[in-house]
Homo-oligomer: A and B are copies of this chain.
Amino acid sequence: MLSNHLQNGIETARLVWSRLPNSDDEALDEVGLSKKSDGSRSESLDYEVIENNAYREEQAQRRKLMVGYYVGVKWFFALLIGIGTGLAAVFINISVENFAGWKFQLTFSIIQKSYVAGFLVYILFNLLLVFSSVYIVTQFAPAAAGSGIPEIKGYLNGVDTHGILLFRTLIGKIFGSIGSVGGGLALGKEGPLVHTGACIASLFGQGGSTKYHLSSRWLQVFKSDRDRRDLVTCGCAAGVAAAFRAPVGGVLFALEEVTSWWRSQLMWRVFFTSAVVAVVVRTAMGWCKSGKCGHFGSGGFIIWDISDGQEDYSFEELLPMAIIGVIGGLLGALFNQLTIYITYWRRNYLHKKGSRVKMIEVCLVSLITSVISFGLPLLRKCSPCPEVELNSGIECPRPPGMYGNYVNFYCDKDNEYNDLATIFFNTQDDAIRNLFSAKTIHEYSAQSLLTFLVMFYSLAVLTFGTAVPAGQFVPGIMIGSTYGRLVGMFVVNFYKKLNIEEGTYALLGAASFLGGSMRMTVSLCVIMVEITNNLKLLPLIMLVLLISKAVGDAFNEGLYEEQARLRGIPLLESRPKYQMRKMTAKEACGNKKVVYFPRVVKVADVVSILRSNEHNGFPVIDHTRNGESLVIGLMLRSHLLVLLQSKVDFQHSPLPSDPRGGGKPIRHNFTEFAKPVSSKGISIDDIHLSSDDLEMYIDLAPFLNPSPYVVPEDMSLSKVYNLFRQLGLRHILVVPRASRVIGLITRKDLLIEDNENSETVELQSTSSSTAR
Residues of A within 8 A of B (CB): 14-15, 17-22, 43-44, 49, 51, 59, 158-159, 247-248, 251-252, 255-256, 262-265, 267-268, 271-272, 274-275, 278-279, 282, 301-302, 307, 521-522, 525-526, 529-530, 533, 535-536, 538-539, 542-543, 546, 549, 570, 572, 574-583, 585-592, 594-596, 613-617, 619, 621, 628-632, 706-707, 709-727, 730-754, 758, 760-761, 763-772
Contact = CB atoms under 8 A, between A and B. Distances in A.
Given A583-B761, A617-B772, A723-B727, 14 more contacts: A49-B719, A264-B574, A271-B525, A570-B751, A588-B743, A588-B750, A594-B744, A613-B770, A614-B770, A616-B746, A619-B741, A707-B716, A710-B711, A735-B741
A730 B772 contact: yes
Most buried by B among A268, A587, A591, A764: A268
A717 B577 CA distance: 30
Contact of A579 (B546, B583, B752): B752
A62 B543 CA distance: 31
28 contacts: A17-B748, A21-B769, A21-B770, A158-B747, A247-B539, A248-B248, A268-B549, A278-B538, A278-B539, A279-B539, A577-B754, A579-B761, A580-B750, A586-B742, A588-B765, A589-B742, A589-B744, A592-B743, A594-B741, A613-B770, A614-B770, A707-B712, A711-B745, A722-B727, A725-B750, A733-B743, A734-B742, A736-B740
Contact of A521 (B267, B549, B575, B741): B267
Give the 3 A-B CB pairs with smallest separation, nearest first: A589-B743, A18-B764, A735-B738
A628 B739 contact: yes
B271 A264 contact: no
A550 to B, nearest CB: 10
Nearest to A752: B577
A630 B737 contact: yes
Given A271-B521, A570-B748, A629 B740 contact: yes
A590 B769 contact: yes
Contacts of A709: 711, 719, 723
Contacts of A542: 247, 271-272, 274-275, 278
Contacts of A588: 743, 745, 749-750, 765
Contact of A587 (B272, B586, B754, B765): B765
Contact of A744 (B733, B736, B766, B767): B733
A305 to B, nearest CB: 10
Contact of A754 (B302, B578, B629): B578
Nearest to A533: B535
A745 B719 contact: no
A19 B514 CA distance: 56
A767 B616 contact: no
Nearest to A538: B247
A751 B572 contact: yes
Nearest to A519: B268
Contact of A731 (B706, B716, B771): B771
Contact of A771 (B265, B268, B617, B724): B617
B754 A579 contact: yes
B522 A251 contact: yes
B21 A767 contact: yes
A282 B538 CA distance: 11
Contacts of A738: 630-631, 710, 733, 735-736, 738
Nearest to A717: B750
Nearest to A620: B741
B764 A15 contact: yes
Contact of A307 (B43, B307, B538, B746): B307
Contacts of A575: 263, 265
A710 B587 CA distance: 19
Contacts of A247: 538-539, 542
Contacts of A717: 750
Given A265-B575, A754-B577, A720 B734 contact: no
A197 to B, nearest CB: 17
A538 B546 CA distance: 26
